[in-house]
Structure 1
Amino acid sequence: MPIADKQQSIQHLFWRAGFGATPAVIQRESHRPIRKVVHDLLHSHEAFAPLAVVDGESPVDRPVLRKLVREGTVDRVMLRQKIKDDTEHLRDLNGLWIERMASGQDALREKMALFWHGHFACRVRNPVAMQHYLNTIRQHALGRFGDLLMGVSKEPAMLQFLNNQQNRKNAPNENFAREVMELFTLGRGNYTESDIKQAARAFTGWGFSPDGQFLFRENQHDDGPKTIFGETGNFVGEDVIRLLLAKKPTARFVTEKLYRFLVDDQAGNLATNPRIDALADRFYSSGYDISDLLETILTADWFYEPAYIGNRIKSPVELLAGMQHTLSITFEQKQSVMFIQRTLGQVLLYPPNVAGWPGGRNWIDSSSLLFRMQLPNILLQAGQVNIKPKEDGDVNTELLARRGNRQMSATVSWTTFEQAFDNVKADKLPDALAAYLLQQPLGPAQRALVLKRVKPESTHSEQIRSLTAAIMALPEYQLC
């Protein structure tokens, strides 16, 4: 099959391995071999930097707080203030991560952290625990899947979310063991109910201390023999992780999910796909080296075939961070970033359930598509917000994202963006901008539509701004 032209290929790479790129970066990288561009994305010169908005508080869980209230040992006014503060800290952490994505720094790490956030979906209301969980998936996003799996499995946020804090030898709780197998590693059909029950016994005693550290509570651990996947031993939680990594279906399950994220989320049944077979075998043989798997995919000729370019609907976070990165957009109010995410159906740190966001065509319905197409006018030309966010049943996101019909104040840094098109003649501007902003050329009808937004007497700069807003409002801009 044919391969896309170089500029289109580079844009495709930066959208799938990041959140787009500025025109200057696209122009520069289009002169370099794809393999070298991918190498640089995988091996950023920047040292890993944790995200931090809160420090020094205990990730004690809400049931404990409610118990203290019932006992009269916690002031209710102070409790309400703590809940409010926690919610605002989570909002700030959300916004800080979006800013990091939009910065373009270490873009592949942040894109993969977004993937792992959906894979290892977790949602608790304590900002200390969520901040630590987020930094764990970011730190290991490009490393070894085994390290990532072990790290996330021992996160207080995950242990609380999946009820393992209540997993004790005399009353085993199977929730954590079940989700580790079904959603994190093997996928359905590759384990038995007995495997889950026995693994739950191995995970007894895994919990966290009041100061938010992983804690193995030996007196709550079932130290008897357990049989998991046909092997018998006095297994503990770490042994279960080892047994899961030893099973090839784990490599296959993770590879399929990553393939849908990076290549084709409408691929259909991949169970007998030889391409996935080869990728999964390599992933397993490499010791679950995530960077090696990514490099194999992102440098493959088939990755740049036209069938895979512009075939994915941008997730709300990809859309938002991509627009911010392209035009260096900054928001005057933190609520605006939450409002956009909530209206479009993806709020970071608030996945809908343990399975994460369904993605793909589920991102689009009549309400969200309308807002997606209105968003460029709202942000770039001070348009009005005339739509309500989706109901998600969470009072925290409702309060922090409430905007009514007020203007959403944002600042756009046009200067750098415009410089890339300074020497483009007026009659060539629509196609030049579309070649950068879209993954497919403008059709005659689209071209006529965007030209209606340009006033004949406008300056070159004004034409660029009007055309950019018009092209971003096209349905095709929703694709990457």
Structure 2
Amino acid sequence: MNRRAFLSKPATTLAAPVAAALAHPAIGSDDPPGDDEIISRFANTSLPTEPRSLAGIAPYSGPWEYAQAAHLLRRCLFGPTRAEINTAASQTLTEVMDRLLTTPAAPAPPLNVSATDTSVPQGQTWVTEPFNQTFEGPRRSSLRAWWMGQLLGQDTSLSEKMTLFWHNHFVIELGDINDARYGYHYCALLRQHALGNIKQLTEEVTVAPAMLRYLNGNQSTANAPNENYGRELLELFTVGKGPLIGPGNYTNYTEADVQAAAKVLTGWRDNTTTIAGYYTASRHNTTTKQFSGAFQNATIANLGDQEYKALIALIFAQQETAKFLCRKLYRWFVYYVIDATTEAEVIEPLARLLVANNYNVAPVLRALLSSEHFFDAVNMGCVIKSPLDFTVGTCRQLQMVFPAASNLTAQYGMWDYLNSTTNVQQQYLGDPPNVAGWPAYWQTPQYYEMWINAVTLPRRNQLTDLFISTNGYTRNGANIKINVIDLVLSLPPATAADPNLLIAELAQLLFPISLTANQLTYLNDTLLPGLPDFEWTVEWQQYLAAPTNATRRTAVETKLRSLLRTMMGLAEYHLS
């Protein structure tokens, strides 16, 4: 099997007009692309139908070494460090999964770092202060920056990756709800239940103030039920559509079910003082709600403020709900293609496991991420990194040092800067593009390939070029960059002194698939242009003997920057 085949797009996957355009570029094709490009002309135009893997969810029993540990952590963390991978490789898969499925303590809330927000002194939290539109901008920036800080400082736990998963699943947009306090409450809720019970999370999200405002549940009354949340609850959050069987009707729910769900959900509003959802009986539709055959013609009578729980119980009693959720988890952690074999051998048994565990997600994650299927070679190194994976992973894997908490303005400023860089790469933390989430996880047939286009690829290259440059990025008097010498000093001395061992060590950290012999030779030539291997050993040892000598330091720094800049420019660097 050619593990590198997907790096080259077969001509047969290109639509005829696209292939023709590649062969004969149109006039003006050299013009810079617009900032609205979403789908590259090289992206999928169809999905494969043959089975990618025959492996199921039986426990993985193959080799457990650096490569397997790195694969697991790349998918579960935002850029695992060399130390984290080596620690995992020294443990058993079960021990690593135990750590990944341990929920860390809840982080302290975001802090005010802006002189504009006079509601609290700088360095104190604003999350329980009264709403004030004047302060909304700096508070929202503080929340986004704080969230980025959680990704950078994550433990060896699935908590942050799953918090983002639920954010992409139970979508709200911070810009739309226009209350950063609601946004923090929502973030805390997702993090609290990230590795917990999906049904309970669904119940709590349903009446969370951020969701009530985002999907207009706070406007829903007995005589005018708002259908927005009821529709998205069925279509995007739980049971999914299934095949279309009529205008507005699907196998898993009908338009009548949306209307019935909307009536169930009437009566809930958001309280800007308590930052909570609350129930008003006079606004609740007290009629008996009739559901279709998709829900076994069930009815829900008036249950007041507990009625929404009956609706969620009805939805979670449907077999398709567990399957829908497991498909989303699969596309988040494994790959976007779910062929008939994967459906039968992975999705369906995972769905049964989810139901058997009363919708607790941890047993499903353990089974999936410890399975033969997950460690099948075809599923290693096949995911295109999201902008968050790419950006945070670069910072963590290359040991970039950020300002300490003792300088909050500089610390939050750098976190805010990283948010701006992922935003131009088309993934903005806190603001998916719409209620369906980021298209890379649902838009068929392109999926992850949407992350790479004529707009985002240059942005990625500009970011890594900046980080590897001599100056790096400076803001609020602080500076971040890749310190290439400190990075190499963290390696075993014999590895650091040997150019080929050095390149191999960096390659296994940065790339999820092995480089070819030609690529390794090219990287050697990049480090030592026209020079023999021993030249690196001599120069490195000379630097170690006199680390304060500017000439010797510059000699090795220049070579290492050139090497890492080239490595981060390879296609493999965009894979996980």
TM (normalized to structure 2)?
A: 0.71
Which residue is 2:563 aligned to? 467
Tell me the amino acid that sits aligned with residue 234 of structure 1: A
1:208 aligned counterpart, secondary structure: strand
Match for residue 366 of structure 1 among 446, 454, 464: 454
Tell me the amino acid that sits aligned with residue 122 of structure 1: I
Tell me the amino acid that sits aligned with residue 24 of structure 1: A
Match for residue 105 of structure 2 among 29, 43, 47: 47
2:226 aligned counterpart, secondary structure: coil
Q: Distance in 1 between matches of 2:287 and 2:432?
A: 36
Gaps in structure 1 of 5+ consecutive residues: 60-81, 386-402
Does the Cα contact within 8 Å between 1:143 and 1:290 map onto a contact in 2? yes
Which residue is 1:201 aligned to? 263
Identity of aligned residues (%): 29
Match for residue 143 of structure 1 among 189, 196, 200: 196
1:287 aligned counterpart, secondary structure: coil
Match for residue 247 of structure 1 among 280, 293, 318: 318
Tell me if 1:176 matches 2:229. Answer: yes
Quickly say closer, same or farther: Cα 1:94–1:107, change in 2 above 3 A. Answer: farther
Q: How does 1:258-337 map to 2 (within 5 A)?
A: 258-268=329-339, 272-329=343-400, 330=402, 333-334=413-414, 335-337=416-418
Match for residue 410 of structure 1 among 480, 493, 516: 480
Tell me if 1:375 matches 2:463. Answer: yes
Which residue is 1:115 aligned to? 165
Which residue is 1:352 aligned to? 433
2:494 aligned counterpart, secondary structure: coil
Q: Distance in 1 between matches of 2:221 and 2:269?
A: 10
Q: Give deviations 1:406-442, integer Å, cap 9, x for gaps.
A: xx95244553663124321123221221012111122
Tell me the amino acid that sits aligned with residue 175 of structure 1: N
2:90 aligned counterpart, secondary structure: coil
Quickly say closer, same or farther: Cα 1:452–1:366, change in 2 above 3 A. Answer: farther
Q: Give deviations 1:330-380, integer Å, cap 9, x for gaps.
A: 375444212211111000111100001011111110221122233222112
1:423 aligned counterpart, secondary structure: helix
Quickly say closer, same or farther: Cα 1:290–1:445, change in 2 above 3 A. Answer: same
Tell me the amino acid that sits aligned with residue 503 of structure 2: P
Q: Distance in 1 between matches of 2:379 and 2:385?
A: 13
Distance apart, 1:318 and its partner CA = 1.1
Does the Cα contact within 8 Å between 1:206 and 1:237 map onto a contact in 2? no
Which residue is 1:223 aligned to? 286
Distance apart, 1:19 and its partner CA = 1.5
Does the Cα contact within 8 Å between 2:99 and 2:156 map onto a contact in 1? no
Tell me if 1:128 matches 2:181. Answer: yes
Quickly say closer, same or farther: Cα 1:474–1:5, change in 2 above 3 A. Answer: farther
Which residue is 2:83 aligned to? 24
Quickly say closer, same or farther: Cα 1:186–1:25, change in 2 above 3 A. Answer: same
Q: Distance in 1 between matches of 2:157 and 2:100?
A: 7
Q: Distance in 1 between matches of 2:167 and 2:136?
A: 20
Does the Cα contact within 8 Å between 1:312 and 1:479 map onto a contact in 2? yes
**Structure showing greater Rg:** 2
Distance apart, 1:270 and its partner CA = 7.6
Tell me if 1:438 matches 2:511. Answer: yes
Match for residue 104 of structure 1 among 154, 158, 163: 154
Does the Cα contact within 8 Å between 1:377 and 1:383 map onto a contact in 2? no
Q: Distance in 2 between matches of 1:355 and 1:233?
A: 28
Match for residue 450 of structure 1 among 509, 523, 543: 523
Which residue is 1:210 aligned to? 272
Q: Which moved more, 1:202-211 or 1:25-34?
A: 25-34
Does the Cα contact within 8 Å between 1:208 and 1:214 map onto a contact in 2? yes
Q: Give deviations 1:421-467, integer Å, cap 9, x for gaps.
A: 43211232212210121111222343344335425676446355543
Q: Distance in 2 between matches of 1:382 and 1:306?
A: 38
Distance apart, 1:224 and its partner CA = 1.5
Quickly say closer, same or farther: Cα 1:340–1:298, change in 2 above 3 A. Answer: same
Q: Distance in 1 between matches of 2:134 and 2:455?
A: 30
Tell me if 1:237 matches 2:318. Answer: no
Q: Distance in 2 between matches of 1:49 and 1:231?
A: 42
Quickly say closer, same or farther: Cα 1:467–1:422, change in 2 above 3 A. Answer: farther
Q: Which moved more, 1:30-39 or 1:414-423?
A: 414-423
2:439 aligned counterpart, secondary structure: coil
TM (normalized to structure 1)?
A: 0.85
Does the Cα contact within 8 Å between 2:300 and 2:310 map onto a contact in 1? no
Tell me the amino acid that sits aligned with residue 373 of structure 1: N
Does the Cα contact within 8 Å between 2:266 and 2:284 map onto a contact in 1? yes
Q: Which moved more, 1:466-475 or 1:318-327?
A: 466-475
Q: Distance in 2 between matches of 1:12 and 1:33?
A: 14
Distance apart, 1:302 and its partner CA = 2.1
1:304 aligned counterpart, secondary structure: coil
Does the Cα contact within 8 Å between 1:91 and 1:338 map onto a contact in 2? no
Aligned length: 437
Quickly say closer, same or farther: Cα 1:129–1:273, change in 2 above 3 A. Answer: same
Q: Give deviations 1:211-245, integer Å, cap 9, x for gaps.
A: 12210111100111111331123242121111111
Q: Distance in 2 between matches of 1:85 and 1:47?
A: 29
Does the Cα contact within 8 Å between 2:270 and 2:278 map onto a contact in 1? yes
2:195 aligned counterpart, secondary structure: coil
Does the Cα contact within 8 Å between 1:435 and 1:441 map onto a contact in 2? yes
Gaps in structure 2 of 5+ consecutive residues: 1-54, 56-60, 112-125, 242-249, 404-409, 441-447, 541-555
Q: Distance in 2 between matches of 1:417 and 1:302?
A: 35
Q: Distance in 1 between matches of 2:256 and 2:142?
A: 42
Does the Cα contact within 8 Å between 2:300 and 2:311 map onto a contact in 1? no
Q: Give deviations 1:272-293, integer Å, cap 9, x for gaps.
A: 4332110111111110111111
Q: What's the C-alpha RMSD, in Å, of the aligned pairs? A: 2.6
Does the Cα contact within 8 Å between 2:64 and 2:89 map onto a contact in 1? no
Which residue is 1:429 aligned to? 502
Q: Distance in 2 between matches of 1:87 and 1:422?
A: 49
